[in-house]
Amino acid sequence: MTSSLGEPNLLAISFFLAFIVGSLGITVWASRRTRTADQFYAAGRSVTALQNGLALAGDYMSAASFLGIAGLVAVSGFDGLIYSIGWLVGWPLVMFLIAEPLRNLGRYTFADVLAARLRQTPIRIAAAIGGLAVICFYLIAQMVGAGNLIQLLFGLPYEVAVAIVGVVMLAYVLFGGMIATTWVQIVKAVLLLGGATLLAGFVLARYNFNPLALFAAASEVYGTSVLGPGRLVSDPIDAVSLGLALMLGTAGLPHILMRFYTVPDARTARKSVGYATAVIGFFYLLTFILGFGAMVIVGRGQITAIDAGGNMAAPLLAEAVGGTPFLGFISAVAFATILAVVAGLTLSGAATLSHDLWVNVVRGEKADQREQLRVAKGATVLLALISIALGILFKGQNVAYMVGLAFAIAASANFPALVLSIFWRKLTTAGAQYSMLAGTASALGLIYLSPTIQVDILGNAEAWFPLRNPGIVSISIAFAVAIGVSLLRPVPSEEQRFVDLERQLHLGVE
């Protein structure tokens, strides 16, 4: 089978333009409602549970989920599913531990929760470093995915494609703030679910709607080994490390945590996680079908011939089962997916830079509404430029793997400090601060020393650190530092402050 990927696909371009025009329309509408910092960062706290549930799903189901997992499953079989499962189980954790206290205690960013009970300046600086590191890695993955996709789809040069994503996303965030970003996420979530369901339906129609017949066909062609764990997680400790990072990382992603501030109260936050978990779980079950469908119907050879990382498996599958028009539709959906996630990431990065660093640290909370908005918008432009530069710099990386690393940083830098600040009375400012810094530094350092950078990229014979995913070490370091430092130097006044705040933390009353 020959693929029309790489030649300009007129239908894909029209779907894609329709999405851009529609979403910019939303942005224009939203821009009229974006006058204050509350509206810019938190959509005026007026988002309903279902809307926020869909928007959470939209923020979460990134290029890695759709293109990356489908590709990993198509190329490595069962191993790819480990990502699907790990990314879902983070959600119950967010629900049980984080969502409600976060909504009760914070305003715009997750650092607000830590800052409420600890000394703000050191905490916000440390949280900003961790948060921005996560956002950068996540952005790289999305931009690389977008660049590949547009290049293959429209025949545009990679660099131009990355720049287009940056500029359109900038328009959403800059003019429409959280209101536009939320609606773009909702539209995208519905498109992505619809597109993936349709695609899975087309695949299953060939197997009498029996998934097992599809999996059996896969094992006939490639052997039953594709249905069991394989090479990708050959090292047991690496498998546990990846599993930990995927699960705990969700609860440390700044752009996901930020969404809990867009709803009116903790009860709505809780319900929205319920909707998000249902939608995301359904989508990840579909990735089983999409991945094996691509493996059988398109074939591994063709998938890896077009992109070594396997990222184009889903679009290729769409073409195989539905022809060029469906390829166009699915590609446009994948593109919308990326744009929306990039917008969410950029907005949370802007909130970190302006709300955490500028307003609270530099200006000591003395900035008025106009200044807050001005700085937030400046930060947005800066982040858009950085994301375009990173996307061009990291051309050719596997998308799901890069996001896996972003999760490892989130799980090490943000999760330990955040969860301890909600549940542990004795946590001190220094403990949380050093935990976040140690988590970020160890995750980044170990990634640099891992086989991925040392062997695959730098071409050294072996790596100093054996694991491809640093989670198990860096998460442990972050917890150990937080607990150790807090116990070695207890601060009774901060403990008292937590006791005072506990009421607000759980009850949500001022």
Partner 1 sequence: MMAVYFGFVLLVAFNKPLLATIVMPGLSLGMLLGALVIVVAWALTWIYIRWANTHYDEALKGLRR
How many Cβ atoms sit within 10 Å of the Cβ of residue 489? 11
What span, in angstroms and rounded, lies between the C-alpha atoms of 71 and 175?
35
Instruction: Specify the residue for token string 């926020």.
Output: 52
Nearest to 137 by CA among 437, 418, 400: 400
Sites of contact with partner 1 (CB under 8 A)? 78, 81-82, 84-86, 88-89, 91-93, 95-96, 211-219, 224-225, 227-230, 233, 236-237, 239-240, 243-244, 247, 267, 270-271, 273-274, 277-278, 281, 284-285, 288, 506-507, 509
Query: Of 231, 177, 159, which Cα lies nearest the Cα of 44?
Result: 177
Report in angstroms how near the CB of residue 487 gets to partner 1 at its nearest: 24
Q: Which is nearer to partner 1, 91 or 158 (CB)?
A: 91
Taking the least distance from each CB to partner 1, the nearer of 127 and 405 is: 405
Handedness of CA 50, 52, 56, 62 (dihedral sign): positive
In angstroms, give the least distance from the CB of 217 to partner 1: 8
- Closest separation between CB of residue 422 and partner 1, Å? 16
Q: Which of 400, 316, 317, 457 is closest to 72 using CA atoms?
A: 400
C-beta closer to partner 1: residue 225 or 496: 225
- Alpha-carbon gap, residue 510 to 31, rounded angstroms: 31
Nearer to partner 1 by Cβ, of 461 and 509: the residue is 509
Q: From the CB of 355, what's the least distance to partner 1, in Å?
A: 28
Min dist. Cβ of residue 215 to partner 1 (A): 4
Is 211 or 264 the residue whose CB approaches partner 1 more closely? 211
8 Å CB contact between 389 and 415:
no
User: Which residue in 56, 494, 86 sits closest to 284, CA to CA?
Assistant: 86
Distances (CA, A) of 71 to 1, 43, 314, 454: 18, 35, 7, 24
What is the phi/psi pair of residue 367, to 5°?
-90, 135
Per the CB < 8 A criterion, the answer to whether 342 and 146 are in contact is yes
d(CA 305, CA 387): 28
Cα-Cα end-to-end distance for the chain: 64
Spatial separation of the C-alpha atoms in residues 329 and 337, rounded to whole Å: 12
Output 215 or 335, the one with its CB closest to partner 1: 215
Nearest distance, CB of residue 294 and partner 1, angstroms: 16
Nearer CB in complex with partner 1: 32/267? 267
Please name the residue that has the structure tokens 């690393």.
405
Q: Tell me how far, at minimum, the Cβ of 477 lies from partner 1, in Å.
A: 20
Whichever of 28 and 237 has its CB closer to partner 1, that residue is 237
| Cα distance between residue 340 and residue 330, in whole Å | 15
CB of 416 to partner 1, least distance (A): 15
Nearer to partner 1, 160 or 237 (CB): 237
Task: Write the DSSP assignment of 309-335 as a string of letters.
Answer: T-TTHHHHHHHHHHHHHHHHHHHHHHH
- Least distance in angstroms from the C-beta of 229 to partner 1: 4
395 Cβ neighbours under 8 A, 6+ residues apart: 144, 147, 158
Shortest Å, Cβ 207 to partner 1: 9
CB of 327 to partner 1, least distance (A): 27
Q: Beta-strand (E) ranges in 73-209?
A: none
Cα–Cα dist 434/125, whole Å: 11
307: left (phi over 0), alpha (psi -120 to 50) or beta: beta
Cβ closest to partner 1, residue 220 vs residue 368: 220
Q: Which is nearer to partner 1, 83 or 335 (CB)?
A: 83
Shortest distance, position 439 Cβ to partner 1, whole Å: 19
Q: Between 35 and 506, whose beta carbon lies closer to partner 1? A: 506
Closest CA to 446 of 467, 417, 476, 477: 467
